[in-house]
């Protein structure tokens, strides 16, 4: 007797139940709450796990997940946990490590000023090892486990703060996002001695004083432009003045870096980022029409990248030969494409390009269904990246159209 075929689409109720379970486990495991069950722990209870285990990329996704659970009719607790997570990130990753001789805010601000501007010095990655010392030789393998600051992690947090501003009506979160954008841009961007457009470094030291990895990330300029535009065009909640930098100079720099670039990639996480950036550019195209040529090129490169990925054998491999968070990044981007065609319906050329991307959306359902299976989440590679895999699976499950 043959086994029944695997379902490649999850029902809405299944997605939301699994996402909530993943986030409850994440909150307890990383010290966002103590070991007391979530429905019994008072929100003002100090976490029993000290100090909290915070990691900037993962926590940015987690904030969005908690806000989405709350918006969908969840408990007020979800919103409060999102706010607690923001506070923990700022007070953990915005300050020097316990094993660092330096103390206080990494921005160098006083205790009081740091509370008012917690993102002015950027935010640490949250890696397990201290950053490489100035006189220490570069070891590419070891560098992945060393602390510092990554630009593409900072943009994730900028967006998380903007989401919190929209959900709470508190303009301070949008101001913090804009201040983080200005600080990150000033530190990561430089102008080549021989002229030409600005460039960016991949990784900076905790205090943003020196590059740790000077090469430029393939998609960092594009991520910069989409994020800066999003923050600059965001309306302050409840009509309040958000304040902070207007980011016009940063937008001009990022646009110059993007002018002649090609974005094609066969990396699933990178493709997901391309799709996400395309959706964000499309959302503000009416207010920023000068970026239409970039969006056209981006849509074409994303389609070529998806076609290249489809020719790989990755989706046929067992779980232990796959990295969930990279595939889930692709699934998240594919879910976002749902909003692309309607936004571009009035532009025939762009609408056709968006329709081509929409044809790839069934892949997202297959990725979600694969990692939703318990047996695939018991493997080695899932456990090695448990927090990031869990947060990104929850994001993809919550982003899927009902």
Q: For 15-27, how does the pLDDT look when each residue is reduced to its tens digit (9 = 90+)?
A: 999 999 999 999 9
pLDDT surpassing 50 at residue 38: no
339 or 299, which is more confident: 299
231 or 402, which is more confident: 231
**pLDDT over 70, % of the chain:** 92
- 81-105: buried (b, 16+ CB within 10 Å) or exposed (e) per residue? bbbbbbebbbbbbbbbbeeeeeeeb
Distance CA 372, CA 97 (A): 35
pTM exceeding 0.75: yes
- The neighbour count for residue 218, using CB atoms within 10 Å, is 18
**Cis omega (within 30 of 0) for bond into 211:** no
Q: Which two tokens stand for residue 346?
A: 């009035």
Question: Tens digits of per-residue pLDDT, 179-205?
Answer: 999 999 999 999 998 888 999 999 999
Q: Hey, what's the torsion of the CAs at 122, 128, 133, 136, to 10 degrees?
A: -140
- The DSSP H or E segment spanning 223 is helix 220-233
Q: Which of 45, 64, 61, 286 is nearest to 163 (CA)?
A: 64
Write down the mean pLDDT value for the chain. 91
Question: What mean pLDDT comes out for the span 161-166?
Answer: 96
Question: Tens digits of per-residue pLDDT, 73-105?
Answer: 877 899 999 999 999 999 999 999 999 999 999
pLDDT surpassing 60 at residue 300: yes
- The DSSP H or E segment spanning 212 is strand 211-213
Q: Calculate the CA 380 to chain-centre distance.
A: 24
29, with CB counted inside 10 A (0-12, 13-18, 19+), is middle
Question: Which DSSP symbol is given to 95?
Answer: B
Q: Please report the pLDDT score of residue 41 as a whole number.
A: 47
Question: Tens digits of per-residue pLDDT, 236-294?
Answer: 765 556 678 999 999 999 999 999 889 999 999 999 999 999 999 999 998 999 999 99
- The neighbour count for residue 12, using CB atoms within 10 Å, is 11
Q: Please report the pLDDT score of residue 311 as a whole number.
A: 85
Q: Please report the pLDDT score of residue 325 as a whole number.
A: 97
Domain boundaries, the chain: 266-402
**pLDDT over 90, % of the chain:** 81
Q: Is the dihedral of CA 216, 219, 225, 227 positive or negative?
A: negative
3-state SS of the chain: helix, strand, coil percent to 5? 60, 5, 40
Q: φ and ψ at 240, to 5 degrees?
A: -75, 155
pLDDT category of residue 324 using cuts at 50, 70 and 90: very high
Q: Please report the pLDDT score of residue 236 as a whole number.
A: 73
Question: What mean pLDDT comes out for the span 316-325?
Answer: 91
Question: Which DSSP symbol is given to 237?
Answer: G
3-state secondary structure 57-83: HHHHHHHHHHHHHHHCCCCHHHHHHHH
Residues with Cβ < 8 Å from 366, sequence gap 6 or more?
Answer: 8, 315
Q: Which two tokens stand for residue 258?
A: 């993007």
pLDDT surpassing 50 at residue 2: no
Question: Tens digits of per-residue pLDDT, 359-372?
Answer: 999 999 999 999 99
Which three-class secondary structure state does DSSP give residue 9?
Answer: coil
pLDDT category of residue 36 using cuts at 50, 70 and 90: very low
């Amino acid at each position: 007797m043959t086994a029944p075929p695997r379902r490649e689409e999850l029902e809405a109720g299944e997605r939301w139940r699994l996402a909530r379970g993943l986030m409850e486990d994440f909150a307890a495991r990383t010290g966002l709450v103590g070991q007391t069950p979530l429905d019994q722990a008072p929100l003002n209870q100090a976490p029993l796990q000290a100090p909290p285990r915070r990691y900037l990329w993962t926590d940015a996704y987690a904030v969005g997940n908690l806000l989405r659970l709350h918006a969908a009719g969840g408990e007020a607790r979800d919103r409060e946990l999102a706010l607690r997570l923001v506070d923990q990130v700022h007070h953990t990753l915005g300050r020097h490590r316990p094993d660092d001789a330096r103390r206080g805010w990494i921005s160098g601000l006083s205790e009081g000023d740091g509370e008012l501007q917690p993102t002015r010095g950027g935010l640490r990655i949250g890696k397990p090892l201290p950053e490489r010392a100035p006189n220490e030789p570069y070891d590419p393998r070891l560098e992945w486990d060393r602390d510092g600051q990554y630009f593409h992690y900072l943009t994730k947090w900028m967006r998380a703060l903007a989401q919190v501003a929209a959900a709470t009506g508190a303009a301070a979160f949008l101001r913090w996002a804009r201040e983080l954008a200005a600080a990150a841009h000033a530190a990561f961007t430089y102008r080549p001695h021989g002229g030409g457009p600005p460039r960016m470094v991949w990784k900076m030291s905790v205090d943003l004083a020196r590059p740790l990895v000077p090469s430029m990330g393939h998609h960092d300029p594009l991520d910069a432009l989409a994020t800066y535009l999003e923050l600059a065009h965001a309306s302050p909640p409840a009509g309040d003045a958000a304040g902070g930098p207007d980011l016009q100079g940063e937008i001009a720099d990022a646009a110059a870096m993007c002018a002649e670039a090609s974005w094609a990639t066969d990396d699933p996480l990178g493709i997901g980022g391309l799709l996400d950036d395309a959706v964000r550019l499309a959302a503000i195209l009416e207010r920023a029409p000068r970026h239409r040529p970039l969006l056209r090129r981006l849509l074409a490169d994303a389609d070529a990248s998806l076609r290249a990925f489809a020719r790989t054998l990755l989706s046929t491999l067992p779980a232990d030969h796959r990295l969930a968070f990279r595939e889930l990044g692709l699934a998240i981007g594919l879910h976002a494409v749902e909003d692309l065609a309607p936004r571009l319906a009035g532009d025939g050329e762009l609408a056709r390009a968006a329709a081509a991307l929409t044809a790839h959306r069934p892949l997202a359902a297959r990725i979600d269904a694969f990692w939703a299976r318990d047996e695939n989440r018991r493997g080695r590679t899932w456990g090695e990246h448990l927090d990031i895999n869990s947060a990104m699976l929850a994001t993809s499950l919550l982003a899927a159209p009902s």
